[in-house]
């Protein structure tokens, strides 16, 4: 396993991080525990979750993923062996956001963040998080597949400065070691850094955004913050919700697969994304690589990536995903990837 610094901290996080959003929906508690045990045996130390998980978010399952991690911690006592990250839900600003958490009152203010963090810690059976992330902004912006800035006047948003003041108190209390953001924009990251600089508030160390062969929008703006300000990327959906594994090519819908079961991730299945995927899959096979390994290796080789958050529903998938750390793409493959990208730029934002 390869390790990289988390932002400008001294924390060494594994290049492959363990995503957990299927636990409690597509995976049982026993399967979740098996995944953690195996991942740790391979050198993975970053486990990422969220109060909202599992996905799709539903009232009857909300928080179950954290509870599965908590039961593993209680059973094994291995809290110091993992870097544990979770996320607080943002406000409900469109139908894709869950409205059942705290009755839809999920603004990033003191009352809601305090309730969110305390509930997460209780489910996780720990008294601190290594990384606490804001799952999405407290404003309407370009997240979760929006193709462009919506230019919407929100009735109410919590100022980023106010959110940081609350997070500062969490850090002082020892409940949180470091803070990060998720599904953020360049403007949002700049604001977080500005208030950290001018007000002495905690500095974000990471941003968890989508990044894959089908969505390289991180490179346009946000990667500069990684380079010059040390805000590392925790890349999620590196396989485009499994699409880049090639299992959905030519309209295939394998039984039990995510895209077969759920329709909420349809942005990865649109025409341009399907055309691009077919070319990436063929490129991998032409070079004797599995499509999933090539797609993950591409993410692993990016200098702005601190950790590549993989998610698996089977142990076979988990093993293949972790094995991607051993794959180094040659220049001819990278050049061919770039040529496909120029034909189909970011088809699944």
Q: Is residue 295 part of a domain?
A: no
What is residue 264's predicted lDDT score, i.e. its pLDDT?
A: 66
58-67, 220-229, 250-259, 333-342: segment of lowest average pLDDT: 250-259
Retrieve residue 29's tokens.
């508690």
Q: What is the dihedral of CA 288, 293, 296, 297, to 10 degrees?
A: -50
Q: Is residue 142 part of a domain?
A: yes
Q: Provide, for the chain, the percentages of residues in helix, strand and coil under a 3-state DSSP scheme, each rounded to the nearest 5.
A: 45, 15, 40
- Which residue range forms the structural domain that includes residue 79? 3-240+302-327
Q: Is residue 35 part of a domain?
A: yes
Task: Tell me how many domains the chain contains.
Answer: 1
53 is an active site residue: yes
Taking only the tens place, the pLDDT of each residue in 135-161 is 999 999 998 878 889 999 999 999 999
Q: Is residue 247 part of a domain?
A: no
d(CA 301, CA 337): 13
Taking only the tens place, the pLDDT of each residue in 266-288 is 778 889 999 999 999 999 999 99
Q: Domain with 306 in it: what CATH number?
A: 3.20.20.100
Q: Is residue 184 part of a domain?
A: yes
Instruction: Taking residues 54-63, report their average pLDDT.
Output: 95
Count of C-beta atoms within a 10 Å radius of residue 146: 14
Q: Is residue 290 part of a domain?
A: no
Q: Is residue 99 part of a domain?
A: yes
> What pTM did the predictor assign?
0.95
d(CA 8, CA 149): 30
Catalytic position from the list 38, 53, 192, 195: 53
Q: Is residue 274 part of a domain?
A: no
């Amino acid at each position: 396993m390869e390790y990289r610094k988390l932002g400008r901290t001294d924390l060494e996080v594994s290049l492959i991080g363990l995503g957990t959003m299927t636990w409690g929906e597509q995976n049982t508690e026993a399967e979740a525990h098996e995944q953690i045990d195996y991942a740790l045996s391979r050198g993975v130390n970053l486990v990422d979750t969220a109060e909202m998980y599992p996905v799709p978010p539903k009232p009857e399952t909300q928080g179950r993923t954290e509870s599965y991690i908590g039961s593993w911690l209680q059973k094994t006592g291995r809290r110091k062996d993992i870097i544990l990250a979770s996320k607080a839900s943002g406000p409900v600003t469109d139908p894709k956001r869950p409205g059942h958490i705290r009755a839809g009152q999920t603004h990033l203010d003191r009352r809601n963040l305090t309730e969110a963090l305390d509930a997460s810690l209780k489910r996780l059976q720990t008294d601190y998080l290594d990384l606490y992330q804001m799952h999405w902004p407290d404003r309407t912006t370009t997240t979760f597949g929006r193709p462009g800035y919506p230019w919407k006047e929100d009735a109410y948003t919590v100022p980023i400065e106010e959110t940081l003041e609350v997070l500062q108190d969490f850090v002082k209390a020892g409940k949180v070691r470091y803070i990060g953001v998720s599904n953020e924009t360049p403007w949002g990251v700049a604001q977080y850094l500005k208030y950290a600089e001018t007000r002495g508030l905690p500095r974000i160390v990471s941003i968890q955004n989508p990044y894959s062969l089908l969505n390289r929008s991180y490179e346009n703006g946000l990667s500069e913050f990684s380079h010059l300000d040390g805000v590392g990327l925790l890349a999620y959906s590196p396989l485009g919700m499994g699409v880049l594994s090639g299992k959905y090519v030519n309209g295939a819908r394998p039984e039990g697969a995510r895209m077969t079961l759920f329709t909420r991730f349809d942005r990865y299945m649109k025409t341009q994304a399907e055309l691009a995927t077919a070319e990436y899959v063929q490129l991998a096979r032409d070079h004797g690589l599995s499509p999933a390994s090539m797609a993950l290796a591409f993410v692993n080789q990016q200098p702005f990536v601190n950790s590549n958050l993989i998610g698996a529903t089977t142990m076979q998938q988990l093993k293949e995903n972790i094995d991607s750390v051993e794959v180094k793409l040659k220049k001819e493959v990278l050049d061919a990837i770039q040529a496909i990208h120029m034909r189909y730029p970011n088809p699944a934002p």
